Chains A and B, each alone.
Chain A
Amino acid sequence: MVTVTEPTATRGEASMIRRRRGGRPGRRGSRRVKAAPYLFVAPFVLVFAAFSAYPIFFALQLSFTNWHGAGALEVIGFANYRFLLTSPDFWQSMATSGALWLLVVPAQILLALTIAVALRKARFRGLFSAALIAPFVTPLVAMAQVWIILFDQDFGAVNHGLTSLGLPAVGWLTTSAWAKVTVALLVLWRTTGYAVILLMAGLSTIPSDVYEAARIDGAGAWQQFWSITVPLVTRTLSFVVVIGTLTVFQLFAEPYVVTGGGPFNGTRTAGLYLYKHITNSDLGLGAANSMLLVLMVLALSLASIRLLRSREDS
């Protein structure tokens, strides 16, 4: 904060202004600051710089090198980016994440919004909220093991149910197309509750008299939902979409535990592909992959937000 003596004020007025601003007299014309605000923000700045800013810049630097974790960095220009952008494996991992995004995010929005609206006036909301958040806080590895057993092609409960209904058994974990669905179902199961909680918070900010006025004007439940609820929770929906996009493109643990990225690399997501570079000590390639992933996620998130905002504006 800079204290400047106003030239138009009298000496007494200037002194009063300084006191009001909590300032203390200094040399005329010098730019003085107080240490306190800087000291208060310093812990954040240091932590942010050490654990966010520095790693980002270091990763950017690494992305132009061939480095395996030992020895000096060997600068190789854009070779890592060229390798990735011409690699079918990279594009396959992006396509897998894209497919999972299509399977997860729209379904999650629909499900979460429906459940949140249904629970808006329900009794025992707290109980429902706790039940919904339970999959989100349950250890993933345990849940993934249950998933493996449920979706086993020959002995799983899901196929048992299907065949008892006269439907054919599905290779949930043995065909690359269905394995994506299996992973998507696990992600939906795990994260939809969190989206519901967010949307319930968003819905609680809509004044009840808006609905009351709509009812008086003769609006039905569907019209109220489409013309009041959806537009007024668009910002929350945008947030849920961005979080969903980030979740899907960073998706690692679910395919790692349930399918190991298979079958036939069919569930090797962008996150899992990136992880493999790191465990293989291909750190330059991994860093370049991260940078490309950041750009993709940023573009997809911005496009989603723009799409939702355009609806909000209209």
Chain B
Amino acid sequence: MANPLVVPVSRRNVLRGAGAALVAGGLGACAPGNTTGSNPLPTSTATTPPSGELTIWDRTGDLYKVFDKAIASFTAKYPQVKVNHLAVDINAKLPATLISGAGVPDGAFYDDALLTGVAPHLHDLSRLIEQYKSDIAPYKLGVVTVDGKVIAVPWDLDPGLLFYREDIVTQAGVDPASLTTYDALLGAARTVREKFPQAKPIHLENDQFLAQLWIDMFANQQGGAMVDAQGKLSIDSDPYRKTLTWLDTVRGEGLGTLAKYTQPTDLQTQDNGTQVFVPWAQWFAFVPQQLLKASKGKWRAAALPAWQAGGPRAGVMGGSSFVIPAKAKNPELAWRLYEHLVFSKEGYTTVYGSNEVYPGGLNTSIPSYLPALDPNAPLFKPIEALGGQDLWKVAVEAGKQVPGGYSIPTWWGKAVDYFGVNVQKLLAGQMGPDEVLKTSATQIQKNLMGPS
């Protein structure tokens, strides 16, 4: 009986066959393609009940649990929809997934600061968002708009607030209500240190990414941004100079604790009273609630001080939105889900309502959807770790003051290697404010923007 495997085949034919199989089967899928989605989005909100299956990525940790519950409210409303909700290290995985086109989710939660870097791979949501545009915080609308297209469903607003240790401030004889300008804050820090010599009252951020985000909050508060309305580099400007000069004063006078957010030094010095003032985004509220022990209940939040008396007392630090990849299999369902979570009262009250991580409701940000920002209709309860303070009211008032007209350049994430690092050097006393701004501007222009 002839062995079926022993078939006379010429060597050339074998090679031809292998090559053809390789090209036809394997490589075609790997080749770079365009980013046009095979399934287009509707041009306006559909009226038929959605059905089908979709895959959603959310950040691992507390927010995954928060959104899991909120997604359940969507599937309860639309039982024909099945949502595969996955906890993923999105910042690490999404860019590569969008490029490869393999295993692309139908929707994903993503940092606003990184949005512009993946913009070419996302669905243009402009027509769908149009009906809600006037109800979205101007700052947020600017952030999710790239080249005139809305590329993400705007999620939260993260107003900067001044967190402070109420017990220490009071013992030092400082009236928290007097902290209305950054000069006043500097004076309060000096007063606190006179009373508590071990104190280095003001937080100085030592993580290069967060430091850049932090400086941008101060700049945003003054109406500044890394690029102007024409897209020209505007980092070497007054808002940034004023911010860095102030931080350099804090460092020079030994009034600051240099630490990375939530790293051991940071938490220990917040708990033991070395750090007293933390100007940070609302999401710092997570720290006293989940990470601090000795100082839990002793922190309070107020509006940021103003750079000039009577000036704006709000800026934004961070924030996230929902993206729908152009290669999503079921973008329409993803849109319906996000529309439910962001623009329906049922959706946003579920997200911000009580859950197992935040029994009093999600209080680390506020919605960017303005109808949800009613100071008298709080979405989350007062926070015990902040001494029972009504953070909702403070955050909403700050959120409504956030200056608009802000845009994030496509190279924002890459600039961390230059501006973020130079800010680190300033906080370590290795560079002055002017040197940071001029060096960063030169580096960004040369390496990220090209010749102007």
Contacts and interface: CB of A to CB of B under 8 A. Distances in A.
Contacts of B10: 31-33
| Interface of A: prevailing SS | loop
Interface stretch (A107-115, A148-156, A232-240, A296-304): A148-156
A264 B7 contact: no
A155 B99 contact: no
Interface in A145-173: 148-149, 152-156
B414 A280 contact: yes
B69 interface: no
Interface stretch (A69-77, A189-197, A242-250): A69-77
B120 A68 contact: yes
Given A54-B27, A58-B30, A35 B263 contact: no
A54 B26 contact: yes
Name the residue in B34, B269, B421 with the highest tally of chain A Cβ atoms < 10 Å from its Cβ. Answer: B421
A106 interface: no
B9 A33 contact: yes
Interface residues of B, number: 48
| Interface of B: prevailing SS | helix
A262 B430 CA distance: 15
Interface stretch (B102-110, B140-148, B203-211, B213-221): B203-211
Contact of A148 (B6, B118, B120, B264): B264
A307 interface: no
Nearest to B8: A32
A262 B32 contact: no
Interface stretch (B42-50, B90-98, B284-292, B297-305): B90-98
A200 interface: no
Given A49-B22, A69-B120, A281 B95 contact: yes
A73 B207 contact: no
Interface size class of A (residues with CB under 8 A): 35 or more
A5 interface: no
A39 interface: yes
A26 B30 CA distance: 41
Given A89-B447, A265-B421, A283-B99, A46 B21 contact: yes
21 contacts: A26-B8, A34-B5, A35-B9, A36-B3, A38-B9, A42-B18, A45-B18, A54-B22, A54-B26, A68-B120, A69-B35, A70-B34, A89-B417, A89-B447, A154-B269, A155-B265, A174-B206, A264-B424, A264-B425, A278-B95, A281-B118
Interface of A: 24, 26, 31-36, 38-39, 42, 45-46, 49-50, 54-55, 58, 67-71, 73, 87, 89, 148-149, 152-156, 174, 260-265, 268, 276, 278-281, 283
